[in-house]
Structure 1
Amino acid sequence: MLIDAVTEILRETAEIAILPRFRALSAGDVSEKTPGEVVTVADREAEELISRRLRALLDAPVVGEEAASADPALLSALHDAPTAWLVVPLDGTANFVAGRPEYAVMAALVRSGQTVASWIVRPAEDDVYVAELGSGAWRNGIPVHRAAPPADPARLRGAVLTRFLDDDAKARVAAAEPRFAALTPGTKCAGVDYPRLLNGDQDFLLFHRTLPWDHAPGVLLLTEAGGAARHLDATPYSPSAPKLGLLSAADAASWRTVRTILLP
């Protein structure tokens, strides 16, 4: 099966290129690809291994995070090609470099601009999350569904990555913080934050940037488990036509509640 084959590719790549380097990177293994964003030899080697094996499994363009960061024209495959792969060789690279376990390996399959399958592998915890459009979501082979969140907003817990918000949006978020049970900056790794939302560790996530490799895997995982993920104007997320601002929540009702409180 395609689902199992991709899972094995991601897990085996993590064993080869990522896990041996965790807390064992040398200074020459890390560089800055853009101001404030680092990349490692593990990112590059893992992307090469995954991309080659995915193309052998299903011959389609591969949009890898590192390749597309260097050549944004590669993103056109997500809306021009009938089928395309999305690859995140190492999500949460800054955490990985700092020796923190909040990192992930992710992939997604996009058909006609829509995510139809996704994978999130958490090597440090040996957890695997998989979703298939119309079929559901699984954690380590067991079907999962997001439990209903509290109806009272004061009991909701969420995460907002404020780094890319403008000053007005940051001020609104700060003003809204006391109305929730908890509001954190998240883990700086979508491959950790989306599973935490799925598992009930938090009830909502707000991101400003919506790069497809960051969100396509997690959005499908969440929505197949009963959650809601939409742009701030309430339009659905699409990896082939992303726009700024993405709010994900445990269900549609909590999405509306959080949207009203955070960004009135």
Structure 2
Amino acid sequence: MDSDQVLTLMKTVAAEVITPRFRSLADGEVMEKNPGDLVTVADHESEAILTRELSGAFPDAFILGEERTSADPTTLERYLAAEHAFTVDPVDGTKNFVHGSPDHAVMVSEVRHGETVRAWIWQPEHEVAWVAEKGAGTYRNGTRVERAPVPDDVPAVGVTSIWPLRGHSLGSLPPLLGSWVCCGVDYPRLMEGAADYILYARNSPWDHSPGALMVNEAGGVVGHPDGTPYTPQSLIPGIIVAADRSTYAAVRRQAAQAFASRDA
């Protein structure tokens, strides 16, 4: 499948099994994987179709799906050992989806030899598609996107989905605001200029592999608080997404202290 075909597949899946249930989920179509961790019939059906079609097109690739991994933790080990893989987040922002928020997405990335080489985000309710290919840029609905650096005389605006850190100031940086609680919206919003950096605690490949490639291709930086660059096989907790290298460096200097206060 070329990149347009993968995007068409994602749009078709959303139109068939996700959008018809938006604000129309029936009793019994919402479950909990863990307390507060929601999953819906749309998540399961979307992942099943995407996995089947990607496996058919790329029979030698390993498909890492969020729901498959939730049911079988050994899936992550097989993904890490694979030379060629895809990550699938069938409904990113499930809690938003359940609560009727349009801020949800379908996300896919292709990983070769431990490096993300292609990525897709489809936001069905916003009707916005993000596509990136390593070395070829990031595109929003077909238009190339480049994220401008944060001006030296303007404080960087940061967001996070880590509830204890909201309102926490990182040194000279302003307090952190609440994110859109969906990586498939957070990463695009940073590229659009609504935020200059994002802090995450959790690190799952299906959440971050697509957006990380897109931000890097748009001129941003994605790494960990210890300075290690993000890769789709680095499972180090804590991720900093930044509009530019100087913002990443400034946030990184303060992030360790902020994470320590979260865990205190």
Relative to the length of structure 2, the TM-score reads 0.92
**Is 1:235 aligned to 2:228, yes or no?**
yes
Q: Which residue of 2 aligns with 1:9?
A: 9
Superposed CA offset, 1:181-225 (max 9, x none) = 562121110000000011111000000111111100000010011
Distance in 2, matches of 1:51 and 1:9, equals: 11
Asked whether the equivalents of residues 77 and 84 of structure 1 are also in contact (C-alpha less than 8 Å), the reply is no
Distance in 1, matches of 2:243 and 2:56, equals: 36
**Superposed CA RMSD:** 1.7
> Which SS does the other structure have where 1:191 is aligned?
helix
> Which SS does the other structure have where 1:155 is aligned?
coil
Distance in 1, matches of 2:129 and 2:115, equals: 22
Match of 2:183 among 190, 197, 202: 190
Asked whether the equivalents of residues 150 and 244 of structure 2 are also in contact (C-alpha less than 8 Å), the reply is yes
Structure 1 unmatched ranges of 5 or more: none
Superposed CA offset, 1:112-159 (max 9, x none) = 11111110000001100011111111111111111121224x621111
Distance in 2, matches of 1:12 and 1:195, equals: 21
Structure 2 unmatched ranges of 5 or more: 258-264
Distance in 1, matches of 2:218 and 2:78, equals: 27
Distance in 1, matches of 2:211 and 2:255, equals: 21
> Which SS does the other structure have where 1:52 is aligned?
helix
Superposed CA offset, 1:7-37 (max 9, x none) = 0110000000000000000121100011111
Distance in 2, matches of 1:221 and 1:80, equals: 24
Distance in 1, matches of 2:217 and 2:168, equals: 32
Distance in 1, matches of 2:100 and 2:157, equals: 26
**CA drift at 1:175:** 4.6
Query: What amino acid is aligned across from residue 10 of structure 1 in structure 2?
Result: M
Label 1:222 to 1:23 Cα distance change in 2 as closer, same or farther (>3 A).
same
Relative to the length of structure 1, the TM-score reads 0.92
Asked whether the equivalents of residues 43 and 89 of structure 1 are also in contact (C-alpha less than 8 Å), the reply is yes
Q: Which residue of 1 aligns with 2:260?
A: none
What percent identity do the matched residue pairs reach?
A: 42
Distance in 2, matches of 1:231 and 1:261, equals: 12
Task: Give the alignment of 1:1-264 within 5 angstroms.
Answer: 2-59=2-59, 60-152=61-153, 155-163=155-163, 170=165, 174-176=167-169, 179-181=172-174, 183-263=176-256
**CA drift at 1:261:** 3.8
Query: What amino acid is aligned across from residue 92 of structure 1 in structure 2?
Result: G
Distance in 1, matches of 2:47 and 2:254, equals: 39
The alignment covers a number of residue pairs equal to 256
Distance in 1, matches of 2:9 and 2:233, equals: 24
